[in-house]
Structure 1
Amino acid sequence: MTPARLPLDPRFPNPPGSDDDVALWWLGQAGFAVRFRDTLLFIDPYLSDVLADKYRGRIFPHRRLHPSPVNPSDVTGLDLVLCTHGHTDHMDLGSIPYLQTSSDPLFVVPRAEAVKGVARGIPAPRLLGLDAGESFARQGVTITAVPAAHEELTVDAHGQNLFLGYVIEIGGLRIYHSGDCAPYPGQAGIVRDLSVDLALLPVNGRDAHRRDHGVPGNFTLDEAVTLCRDAGIPSLVCHHWGLFEFNSADPADLAQRLTSVDDIAWRIPELGVPFTVSGASA
């Protein structure tokens, strides 16, 4: 596979010969771009370096280990931006205003974080708040929100989830992005009922040291594989590594550990390198 040339083409065109497939690009951390034909959506794009300023001199300095793969101001034709929760590496105040420079996307956020979304630069008319169990459809895309536990299921004073995952139905595929998430009771059944084809799951794990210093964690690799098996998901893409030194995983180690997994198609993505998946209707 040819390494990506950064910055990426901000139009995110389909790779040659894949016009009827769903194309995905890993943008680093939990971020993905997804294209099907004329529709382009982003999930959790962290394309700035604002956290390096916020945490400079602290125990976890949040310095980027790689550059942003695209300048958010240059992105064109962006239809939807999904933010799974309010942490800055998922709802990025350094990207949100600039993603509106050359596009006019709709932003989907947890309803519990709608005020934060507006404060981060989302115009109220362009913001859609969802809670777990709710869905909406637009331009041939259906988004269904499911609970996420980062590391616990957490709700606001109105009982609305602060952390979400999304199942995105596009091009005949159902793609599950869990958001930042660890296992919780009933999760496999919720996801299984949505007939997911591809799971985008964080695999950087969790521990008391990070949690005690304000960094809740995610699935371990084994837990991500187990969820795919229990929920009947045939394909897994591992993410949420490689951006911050203190909160990462070794891709070579991930690949080595996955060599014994032969019942699930798995991928360790490369930054900015597109891959395609064929859907039932493609």
Structure 2
Amino acid sequence: MTHPVLRAQDLRRTYGTRVALRGVSFDVRRGERVALLGASGSGKSTLIRCLSGLETTDPGAGRIEVFGQALQEGGRHSPRIRALRRRIGVIFQQFNLVGRLGVMSNVLTGLAADTPLWRGLLGRYTLAQRALALDALDTIGLAPQAFQRASTLSGGQQQRAAIARVLVQGAELVLADEPVASLDPQSTRRVMDQLAALNRDAGLTLIVSLHQVSLARRYCHRVLALRDGELVYDGPSAALTPSFLQQLYGTAAEELLHDDHDFAAPAAEAPPLALAA
């Protein structure tokens, strides 16, 4: 058996008196496409930040491994975290593009870790690097907009530019934190289709945080469901019937089923599985 691409063990995170993560544990294998599902405040964003190394877990608690090596343990980052982070791409809800810069320049920031600081600050990227960025933009359908200011793009286009930045980085594991939460249904489909294609065709391992169960059922075979910082379900997305969601979330299930008709999943309903231990 090969090592999981990602292994989370007993992750705990508190902010003052608020508990954001309560002993979360799971493995993700190479090439999986996993939905991280939960209502607002369930701990999805905190988990994404911990998995990417942007935050640490509570002191003395938990361990996160990526590619068979420790990223952090007991609330402390590994000495190898910089090298490991280069293989992890993070896509945020708010795009994090510099609006006054061109799309190509924004995408090229994905190469910052491999570019001398003075070159990055002056925009002095090599021809090979620029060709790599243009190829990434072509892959996600934005090559014609390569030299437009990022601020002129639609929300969906800006999110696709953020995906191109991850491609240029050469990420093997992509963590997407609510990447379509602020997009209209058409842009949502375009972005989710793009992420699914990259998982299928480029072999990227994908964990995508969502708050609509219909998107999880349509685009991911596996779901990790959080409630109040606790992992309450780990299994096939097809099992997430309305009645099972009601069992998991109670009245909060209504938030996850909101606008479900816009992204109806073709999969047949399956009987609910056991809750996560």
Q: Normalized against structure 1, the TM-score is what? A: 0.34
- Structure showing greater radius of gyration is 2
Q: Normalized against structure 2, the TM-score is what? A: 0.34
Higher RCO (CA 8 Å, separation ≥ 6 residues):
2
